[in-house]
A and B are shown apart, each in its own frame.
Chain A
């Protein structure tokens, strides 16, 4: 059983929801990412989604676009992202790390080389936003033998026939996109999300984690009530944007940045 599946099943056994913060690796500076990841775990994160910065993040809203731009400006490459994970693993062997991003940097590195390096660094899962399941055969052939989970998005617009093929390719968990649009927009129709997730339960046994519009404790609790957990991206990246690149930081500053995650943790556990 993968580290992701173990985490999800033990949370389920405890009757708790999973909390998955997302941050962009290297934002605003590669030296800040590992301390931020540890602080997120200390604040109650169960899994960390680490964004691989890309120059053209066309599925992301303005907050994560800016995070990606800051990381690239600081010189963050895919190799740096992998070494960030390796450094995180030196003192945390429990918390699963999922890399989320776009295909081109991986394609340029080469699928085999990437799969080798990612598994060596201690990555657990991959979510490649612009690689739909039906285009992914060669990618899967490279990453699956390394034990890496392949995670996919399911959108409100995903058709029934696609749903079956996405579930067939998915391991770890399903990432349910709560809205039509890009990351960081506002959730408008909670009733619809509930109905869609109930339907998904009939199609798959995979845990379902909801993301794309969760701003704070209240929306997190609402979404967690109808799913197995929540992903918090833009709201956290917005907090991270207040950190200054290239400057020494204090534990206090890091702590303040991730208070959102402890607040959400409390709300989920209440």
Chain B
């Protein structure tokens, strides 16, 4: 609804559009807290605790220590020389989040949130997962901290991502198959919210992306912003200047907001968020709410959504389970509306082509999610000059996807 708006933050966000969210979680007209009363006390408690911890340098020191010694940060900013030649044009630099422990950027967030859970004295954590990467990252940190862990996963995704399901079980997590609705990520999130409302006293809900009710979009962004801070510093060290453009895939949008946020004030840096175009935006079979959706309210926040004319949430389609979500983080919705970030889409086919190109030319097998970013980066690079620099967030590695790709190739492995 375009007429929705006006919060007390408008003045502050007019002066600095990137200072959000306000104290109620609004990024312009997006974000907020849209949950049932049974969950309000829980999100308010989290907001209080996070505000306190975020102001405490000891908390960040603990976080940074885990990122360094457990995750293996900083992740390199790597010049993909052959890929650059292949696409022709700007130099393509890969931010190697695929090299993190557990194979994706997701661990940055779960480390931060598990520290919050620990400080809040919650012995039980829950998480939702689509591709399984966030589930694995949650199960991992739960194992390390000795927390009970329940991961909600759509029955369809369990079929698509059996290796990650087994990984979570090995790590000691309970994987709960979600049979309701479209049996994918959005339904897993509904089920996790129900669990949280029921077990609110002893349970911490680790949301995997920069969406959901306030303060999740803010705190997930803050934990993922290590990606952008490193990339910014590495750019200055390696090229003596900032890159010309950033490219990241956007499902819920946590890897993208993590890369983009520290660069938002650098107006000379162009930014591109790449959504899952599925079979093509024109077919309606995609997962691209920013490119082809409309504003609405789901899972605790107002944002762009894929919904029909009656306001029901649509099923999404993408070759990549991690992008198969009908909503997107509210800060992306805001950045789209103010024009700071360009949101585009790459189709399944384009992502698969990029998957193969990166694998063959650099010896790096990317996640299908990240392959969407690579696909668009290739197109973009070709329109740029060889002096220009383009940073692509390689948000995860593709080991989890080899069964999907093999199946597309008609191979049984």
Q: Give complex CA distance A62, B297 in Å.
A: 22
Q: Give complex CA distance A152, B299 in Å.
A: 19
Q: Which A residues form the contact surface with B (CB < 8 A)?
A: 54-62, 65, 69, 72, 77-79, 102-111, 129-132, 134-135, 138, 152-155, 157-159, 162, 166, 177, 180-182, 185
Given A55-B313, A104-B298, A162-B40, the answer on whether A180 and B200 have CB atoms closer than 8 Å is: yes
Decide: A77 and B38 in contact? CB cutoff 8 A: no
Of the A-B pairs whose beta carbons lie under 8 Å apart in the complex, a sample of 24, sorted by A's number, is: A55-B313, A56-B187, A56-B190, A56-B313, A58-B36, A65-B181, A69-B180, A72-B312, A79-B310, A104-B296, A104-B298, A104-B305, A108-B311, A130-B34, A130-B297, A130-B300, A131-B297, A132-B34, A135-B33, A138-B1, A154-B37, A158-B37, A159-B41, A166-B37
B309 at the interface (CB under 8 A from A): yes
Given A106-B311, A181-B198, the answer on whether A62 and B180 have CB atoms closer than 8 Å is: yes
Total of A-B residue pairs, C-beta within 8 Å = 128
B86 at the interface (CB under 8 A from A): no
Q: How would residues 307 to 326 of chain B score, 1 for a CB under 8 Å from any chain A CB and 0 otherwise?
A: 10111110000000000000
B32 at the interface (CB under 8 A from A): yes
Given A56-B298, A62-B180, A181-B197, the answer on whether A104 and B40 have CB atoms closer than 8 Å is: no
B3 at the interface (CB under 8 A from A): yes
For A56, the chain B residues whose CB sits under 8 A away are 181, 186-187, 190, 298-299, 313
Decide: B37 and A132 in contact? CB cutoff 8 A: yes
Q: Nearest-CB distance from A190 to chain B (Å)?
A: 18
Given A104-B307, A181-B198, the answer on whether A157 and B313 have CB atoms closer than 8 Å is: no
Q: Give complex CA distance A107, B199 in Å.
A: 30
For B297, the chain A residues whose CB sits under 8 A away are 102-104, 107, 130-131
Decide: A108 and B294 in contact? CB cutoff 8 A: yes
For A60, the chain B residues whose CB sits under 8 A away are 194
Report which of A54, A129, A159, A162 forms a contact with B36, defined as CB distance below 8 A: A129
B340 at the interface (CB under 8 A from A): no
> 20 extra interchain contacts, Cβ-Cβ under 8 A, other than A59-B35, A104-B313, A107-B296?
A58-B189, A59-B197, A69-B180, A69-B181, A104-B296, A107-B1, A107-B297, A108-B294, A130-B300, A134-B24, A135-B32, A138-B3, A154-B37, A155-B36, A158-B40, A158-B41, A166-B37, A180-B201, A181-B38, A182-B197
Tell which of A58, A78, A111 has the most Cβ of chain B within 10 Å: A58
CB closest residue in chain A, given B310: A77
B171 at the interface (CB under 8 A from A): no
Report which of A54, A78, A152, A157 forms a contact with B41, defined as CB distance below 8 A: A157
Q: How would residues 287 to 307 of chain B score, 1 for a CB under 8 Å from any chain A CB and 0 otherwise?
A: 000000011111110000101
Q: Nearest-CB distance from A76 to chain B (Å)?
A: 9
For B1, the chain A residues whose CB sits under 8 A away are 107, 110-111, 138
Q: Nearest-CB distance from B294 to chain A (Å)?
A: 7
CB closest residue in chain B, given A65: B180
B4 at the interface (CB under 8 A from A): yes
Decide: B34 and A135 in contact? CB cutoff 8 A: yes
Decide: A108 and B309 in contact? CB cutoff 8 A: yes
B281 at the interface (CB under 8 A from A): no
Q: Which B residues form the contact surface with A (CB < 8 A)?
A: 1, 3-4, 24, 32-38, 40-42, 44, 180-181, 186-187, 189-190, 193-194, 197-201, 294-300, 305, 307, 309-313
CB closest residue in chain B, given A156: B38
Given A54-B312, A69-B180, the answer on whether A108 and B307 have CB atoms closer than 8 Å is: yes
Decide: B35 and A153 in contact? CB cutoff 8 A: no
For A72, the chain B residues whose CB sits under 8 A away are 312
Q: Nearest-CB distance from B81 to chain A (Å)?
A: 46
A-B pairs, 3 with minimum CB distance = A105-B311, A108-B311, A157-B41
Q: Nearest-CB distance from A46 to chain B (Å)?
A: 23
CB closest residue in chain A, given B24: A134
Q: Give complex CA distance A166, B37 in Å.
A: 10
Decide: B181 and A157 in contact? CB cutoff 8 A: no
Given A56-B181, A130-B35, the answer on whether A61 and B194 have CB atoms closer than 8 Å is: yes
Report which of A59, A61, A105, A182 forms a contact with B312, defined as CB distance below 8 A: A105
Given A132-B33, A138-B4, A182-B197, the answer on whether A157 and B38 have CB atoms closer than 8 Å is: yes
Q: Nearest-CB distance from A249 to chain B (Å)?
A: 25
Given A131-B34, A181-B198, the answer on whether A78 and B40 have CB atoms closer than 8 Å is: no
CB closest residue in chain A, given B187: A56
CB closest residue in chain A, given B26: A135
For A132, the chain B residues whose CB sits under 8 A away are 33-35, 37, 40
CB closest residue in chain B, given A106: B311
Decide: A157 and B310 in contact? CB cutoff 8 A: no
Q: Nearest-CB distance from B376 to chain A (Å)?
A: 29
For B35, the chain A residues whose CB sits under 8 A away are 58-59, 130, 132
Q: Give complex CA distance A65, B299 in Å.
A: 15
Decide: A157 and B42 in contact? CB cutoff 8 A: yes
Tell which of A104, A105, A158, A182 has the most Cβ of chain B within 10 Å: A104
Tell which of B38, B189, B295, B297 has the most Cβ of chain A within 10 Å: B38
Q: Give complex CA distance A212, B307 in Å.
A: 28
Report which of B32, B37, B312 forms a contact with A155, defined as CB distance below 8 A: B37
Q: Nearest-CB distance from B21 to chain A (Å)?
A: 13
Q: Nearest-CB distance from A154 to chain B (Å)?
A: 7
Given A56-B299, A104-B297, A185-B198, the answer on whether A177 and B38 have CB atoms closer than 8 Å is: yes
